[in-house]
Structure 1
Amino acid sequence: MSKKRVLMLSSSKVGNEKYLANHKIMILPFLDKIQSAIFIPYAGVTMSWDNYTDKVQEALPEINISGIHSFNDPSEAIQNAQAIIVGGGNTFNLLYQLQNKGLIDCIKNRVDSGTPYIGWSAGSNICGLSIKTTNDMPIIQPESFSALALLPFQINPHYSDYQPPGHNGETRAQRIEEFCVLNPTIPVVGIREGSGLLLDNQKLTLIGDLDGVIFNAKEQHSIAANSELTHLL
């Protein structure tokens, strides 16, 4: 039986709220009695990894946060972690660093054995089969687009139906539909800011107050908040 416990948040903030403020009500109960976590800041590009780690520590004073970049052996840090937290930023840089440091299988094995994983934005993106449905620019080329595959489908964090007036570029839905044309057997779940996906053992739920969207081949359906999505596993 699967022991995976994975919390995948769409974003680090909701509106003008403080960093992670809206998500603490999800993060702290998820961690339960865990008091320390390894933070992976590799998605950070314009912010130093030290500063990024400090920012997360400030937002989560209840947990002792250690940046993985401060360890001589990042694999050993993952092996000894009580929990793994992966922040947002640029998904391509995040995946590049994880692949370059040989951490993909290490993280997967720890999560498979029950180590809690929390990600937001890019940190959620990599939980899917690949990063092909990220919103980010490919500022660096990873070894491949294949990600952690903690879920057997794709995720699109920060999903939005909004299209600025006068903007003639493709909408988010149209971009995802392009993926579905070329990958008709792989669903894509869009999660809006303030919401997330919770995988707890063998149960998957859309959490938060907002609905989500699922794209499957040529079909698109709304997902009601707090819907169970275990059938996608």
Structure 2
Amino acid sequence: MALKLFLTGGGDQESFKKIDQVFLKNLKPDSQVALLAHACEDQQEALERIVYYFERPPISQIDLIKKPSEEILNYDALMIEGGNTFELIQQMRESSFFNLIKKFIDLGKPIYADSAGAIILGRDVHTAFLGDDGDDDQLRLQDYRGLGVLGDWCLHAHSTEDDYEQLQDLLYDKGWPILALSEEASVFINKDEVEVLGPDDLWVIDFEGQKKIPPGQKIVL
């Protein structure tokens, strides 16, 4: 897959000026962007917020997409908003959005995903349970698989140092390494290279232990 992912940990958009700049630099002039906000309580409000922060050159238009269609592949970039991870993964799975997102990635087009939107791109979404404010699985899902666009890597958002023991336990239980993003952490993943854009560090939890990767540094998955 020709990955080009921009992932944020769920904090205030004002914290992500650096990654926003890099995202915009990766777009062609007059880009049209599709927004998926299925896990948001108010999708229209989510659209208005995204338009406020992003609808400027090179972006000419941002559209809220509610129903799956091959037409989404005509857009130049895709944004996936957060919310309840389990509701989001179920809605994506029950529709054809799962396959459309994978096709979008195969086309080499960029995806900007926040919080739950980032988590569902990983191998598994069990990370969403973790932390003091972990998501509730009121749907009682039987399948916690994500899109798996990062191989075996999982994503964790809203991460704090208090979560690391739980993340380590999850690693040894499931066998899948984890990229942990605090609310003010962001990364740009270009193919298999991860660039930390900050402002917070990225934490990597794998079988070599826990590693803190500061902004400006890169790792290879």
Residue 53 of structure 2 is aligned to residue 54 of structure 1: no
Structure 2: which 5+ runs fail to align?
129-133
Change (3 A) 1:209 1:49: closer
Root-mean-square deviation (Å) = 2.3
Q: After superposition, what is the alpha-carbon deviation per residue over 1:2-51, rounded to whole angstroms, capped at 9, x for unaligned?
A: 4221111112416xx48x6675334322335352111000121xx22222
1:8 alignment partner in structure 2: 7
Residue 22 of structure 2 is aligned to residue 29 of structure 1: no
Paired residues for 1:82-93 under 5 Å: 82-93=76-87
1:146 alignment partner in structure 2: 145
**Which of 143, 164, 169 is the equivalent residue of 1:178?**
169
1:121 alignment partner in structure 2: 115
Residue 157 of structure 2 is aligned to residue 157 of structure 1: yes
Greater C-alpha radius of gyration: 1
Which residue type is aligned with residue 144 of structure 1?
Answer: D
Change (3 A) 1:229 1:38: same
2:183 alignment partner in structure 1: 193
- Distance in 2, Cα, partners of 1:33 & 1:141: 43
- Distance in 2, Cα, partners of 1:43 & 1:30: 26
Change (3 A) 1:199 1:25: same
- Distance in 2, Cα, partners of 1:224 & 1:183: 26
- Distance in 1, Cα, partners of 2:110 & 2:30: 9
Structure 1: which 5+ runs fail to align?
162-170
Q: After superposition, what is the alpha-carbon deviation per residue over 1:131-179, rounded to whole angstroms, capped at 9, x for unaligned?
A: 1112322133446211121212011112112xxxxxxxxx311221221
Quote how far apart the aligned CAs of 1:54 are: 2.2
SS in 2 for 1:24: helix
- Higher strand fraction: Structure 1 or Structure 2? 2
Give the structure-1-normalised TM-score: 0.81
1:41 alignment partner in structure 2: 37
Counterpart contact for 1:10–1:194, Cα < 8 Å = yes
- Distance in 2, Cα, partners of 1:27 & 1:139: 34
Quote how far apart the aligned CAs of 1:120 are: 0.8
Which residue type is aligned with residue 174 of structure 1?
Answer: E
SS in 1 for 2:2: coil
- Higher helix fraction: Structure 1 or Structure 2? 2
SS in 2 for 1:27: helix
